[in-house]
Structure 1
């Protein structure tokens, strides 16, 4: 007994070319987040702790001063990057389960260790009770 594979047209296995070519937003996101593989370095070591009211993030950035670092908070994403004139390049991002309250957050740099205390923005319930008649 012999079995043969069913031949199907190749077009049934391919995505349309427009989906493959026209995805510039994804390309930009991956470039910003991961960097190019040729120039990629190991990510700086970091430790994240989840406390009741805040997240604590510690990251090693030896040789950098506070003026050479940029810290950005956008919703639930925290980005740390070194400026162009810094002695070394650092670029990292973290996504947290809850949004970060920038007003309740702080940053400290001591002996090459960046410590971020990131306040949690606890979502308020907007449920309105409805009485039954």
Structure 2
């Protein structure tokens, strides 16, 4: 068997190759199944996010909404750790939103906030 040491300089191995390899390894060994188990549907008034979170109970999860960002986290003492954040294209109406957990499937119905127009009409004299 012939062994040739690899010389790693910017001239021979571009940094994009290193970053691509890091992303590949991180995605392969991280909790990629949690990111792949998301289903998003929308209609005129709501978004519906369906997320698989097996092994977690209602008491183990917290759902936070800030503007257009939804953060879902498990508590520190939960059996299984889960952490995700999703940004939606429009602000979320918290009063019109609800969360439901059944058989390891978290369903979030998030109301769309209607943008308030500050336009005013001027009378022409």
Question: In the alignment, what sits opposite 1:42?
Answer: 32
Report the Cα offset of residue 41 of structure 1: 2.1
Question: In the alignment, what sits opposite 1:24?
Answer: none
- Give the TM-score taking structure 2 as reference length: 0.73
- Give the 3-state SS of the residue equivalent to 1:67 in structure 2: helix
Q: Kindly indicate whether residue 102 of structure 2 is the aligned counterpart of residue 105 of structure 1.
A: no
Report the Cα offset of residue 112 of structure 1: 0.3
Gaps of 5+ in 2: 1-25
- Give the TM-score taking structure 1 as reference length: 0.68
Q: Deviations over 1:52-103 (max 9, x none)?
A: 1010000000010000001000000001011111111111111111100111
Going from structure 1 to structure 2, the CA distance change for 1:43 and 1:99 (only over 3 Å counts) comes to farther
Distance 1:42 1:110 in 2: 22
Gaps of 5+ in 1: 1-36
Number of paired residues?
Answer: 97
RMSD: 1.5
Going from structure 1 to structure 2, the CA distance change for 1:43 and 1:72 (only over 3 Å counts) comes to farther
